[in-house]
């Protein structure tokens, strides 16, 4: 098994103003105190403060990402942002196919794939999200649903450095509920097998993040699960103390 460097990414969703950027100073000083080299750390703020965020903590090693992009490079798409614009604002990555985009905006896996391809064209890492609903899990279809989403959402060509997969069960997002370690292991192992079957050595090294109600209190257990190579964190990424508590779960 490849030695995979973990990634802890914070998705601020539609939270945060310029004033919230103080959090980044706290995060950067926490990282300077000793957790920096154990994993990659990323913040995905709202687009309005992305450039300010990326300029706020130079030299800290913190990576930045957008939360969505349009599949086209430019054009008449009022209200949308292209991957190239995110890169221009200082982003290293972009989240595509988050379940909130799939649910709120009817985004299909086919569309998500074109967004991931757009991210790659702009030189951004694509963080491709998948995850089943509560009803799908109850029906025993979680592995099938997630595998189907992967098949349709991932670009035909990818590398371990330009793509990350995030497994976020919809029912675990913002609810305080998390799957058991066994359930996480089952899905992450199925994702790994899917990636290896399609992408070989690159598939073996793609980071697979778990997301959904990750907190300092459950991070150690979740990150200890086989094929969990980091986390995508919503609510707990808004406070430096909580986010640092999750990052610290990687301390050797
Ligand atoms: P919470 O950590 O708030 O459950 O959100 C998870 C998520 O959707 C991250 O993208």
pLDDT tens profile 193-247: 999 999 999 999 999 999 999 999 999 999 999 999 999 999 999 999 999 999 9
Helix (H, G, I), strand (E, B) or coil at 22: helix
Domains of the chain: 6-14+21-29+38-48+62-69+79-250 (3.20.20.70)
User: 74 Cβ partners below 8 Å, 6+ apart?
Assistant: 82, 84
Going by pLDDT thresholds of 50, 70 and 90, the confidence category of residue 36 is low
Take residue 146 and report the two structure tokens written for it. 């997630």
DSSP characters over 155-204: -SS--TTTEEEEE--GGGTTTS----HHHHHHHHHHHHHHHHHHHHHHHH
Take residue 9 and report the two structure tokens written for it. 């990414």
The minimum-distance atom of ligand 1 relative to the CA of 237 is 2
- pLDDT for 34 beyond 80: no
Does residue 41's CB lie within 6 angstroms of at least one atom of ligand 1? no
Instruction: For residue range 50-107, list pLDDT tens digits in order.
Output: 999 999 999 999 999 999 999 999 999 999 999 999 999 999 999 999 999 999 999 9
Say what the alpha-carbon torsion angle 196, 99, 137, 178 is, to the nearest 10 degrees: 90
Q: What pLDDT sits at residue 9?
A: 98
Helix (H, G, I), strand (E, B) or coil at 7: strand
Does residue 165's CB lie within 6 angstroms of at least one atom of ligand 1? no
Dihedral sign, Cα of residue 27, residue 56, residue 239, residue 233: negative
From atom 1 of ligand 1, which residue's Cα is the shortest distance away?
234
Q: What is the pTM of this model?
A: 0.98
Instruction: For residue range 194-203, list pLDDT tens digits in order.
Output: 999 999 999 9
Going by pLDDT thresholds of 50, 70 and 90, the confidence category of residue 46 is very high
Instruction: For residue range 169-200, list pLDDT tens digits in order.
Output: 999 999 999 999 999 999 999 999 999 999 99
Element (H, E) at 28: helix 22-30
Between vectors from CA 190 to CA 138 and to CA 156, what angle results, nearest 5°? Answer: 115
- pLDDT for 37 beyond 80: no
- pLDDT for 1 beyond 90: no
Please give the Cα distance from 226 to 236 (Å, whole number).
23
Dist. CA 75 → ligand 1 center (Å)? 31
The pLDDT of 11-24, averaged and rounded, is: 96
The tokens 């926490």 sit on which residue?
30
- pLDDT for 114 beyond 70: yes
Does residue 194's CB lie within 6 angstroms of at least one atom of ligand 1? no
The minimum-distance atom of ligand 1 relative to the CA of 235 is 3
Going by pLDDT thresholds of 50, 70 and 90, the confidence category of residue 2 is low
The pLDDT of 106-119, averaged and rounded, is: 98
Residues 177 and 135 sit within 8 Å (Cβ to Cβ): no
Going by pLDDT thresholds of 50, 70 and 90, the confidence category of residue 249 is confident
The minimum-distance atom of ligand 1 relative to the CA of 13 is 10
Going by pLDDT thresholds of 50, 70 and 90, the confidence category of residue 250 is confident
Does residue 178's CB lie within 6 angstroms of at least one atom of ligand 1? no
Going by pLDDT thresholds of 50, 70 and 90, the confidence category of residue 38 is confident
């Amino acid at each position: 098994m490849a030695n995979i460097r973990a990634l802890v990414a914070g998705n601020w969703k539609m939270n945060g103003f310029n004033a919230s950027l103080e959090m980044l100073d706290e995060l950067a000083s926490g990282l300077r105190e000793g957790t920096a080299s154990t994993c990659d750390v990323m913040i995905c703020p709202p687009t309005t403060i992305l450039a300010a965020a990326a300029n706020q903590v130079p030299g800290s090693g913190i990576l930045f990402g957008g939360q969505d992009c349009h599949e086209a490079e430019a054009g008449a798409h009022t209200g949308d942002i292209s991957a190239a614009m995110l890169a221009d604002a200082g982003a290293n990555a972009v989240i595509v196919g988050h379940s909130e985009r799939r649910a709120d905006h009817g985004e299909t896996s086919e569309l998500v794939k074109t967004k991931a391809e757009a991210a790659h064209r702009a030189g951004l890492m694509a963080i491709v999200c998948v995850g089943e609903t509560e009803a799908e899990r109850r029906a025993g279809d979680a592995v099938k649903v997630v595998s189907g989403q992967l098949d349709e959402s991932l670009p035909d060509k990818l590398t371990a450095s330009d793509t990350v997969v995030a497994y976020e069960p919809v029912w675990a997002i913002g609810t305080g509920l998390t799957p058991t370690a066994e359930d996480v292991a089952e899905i992450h192992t199925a994702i790994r097998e899917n990636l290896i079957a399609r992408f070989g050595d690159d598939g073996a090294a793609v980071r697979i993040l778990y997301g959904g109600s990750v907190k300092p209190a459950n991070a150690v257990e979740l990150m200890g699960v086989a094929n969990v190579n980091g986390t995508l964190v919503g609510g707990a990424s808004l406070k430096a103390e909580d986010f640092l508590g999750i990052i610290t779960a990687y301390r050797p």
